Amino acid sequence: MNSNDTLDGQRTSQSRVYAALDRIAPFALTVVFAGLGHFYLRYWFRGTLWAALYSFSLLFLSDYSPGFESAPFEVFVVSAVSTLEPADIVFPAAFLVLALVDVYLLRIAE
């Protein structure tokens, strides 16, 4: 076994890791904030729409207030699971789930 075979093996394993991260990244970004996964996939208009809908639902349709008293930049999902009542998070959670489904459908279509 020569050094070229070792380098090819390392490149192959690195490319598998990058491919796995590329498949997971849009979903993880969407869980952080709706629309980010669409931006990652370069669907700018859809990402902007999902971000606007999600922001509107957080600010006006729920009791969630993104404050800095507990932890800065706390993700909505963590805050919702730990402190809010289910009725308070229906609209933001629905937009988040719908954005995830949309990212999934876009990923399948590619």
Q: What is the pLDDT of residue 72?
A: 46
Can you tell me the mean pLDDT for 89-106? 92
Q: Which tokens go with 68?
A: 């800095």
Most confident of 54-58, 61-65, 67-71, 101-105: 101-105
Sign of the alpha-carbon dihedral angle for 56, 57, 60, 64: negative
Planar angle of CA 12, 13, 18, nearest 5 degrees: 95
| Angstrom distance (rounded) from CA 62 to CA 29 | 22
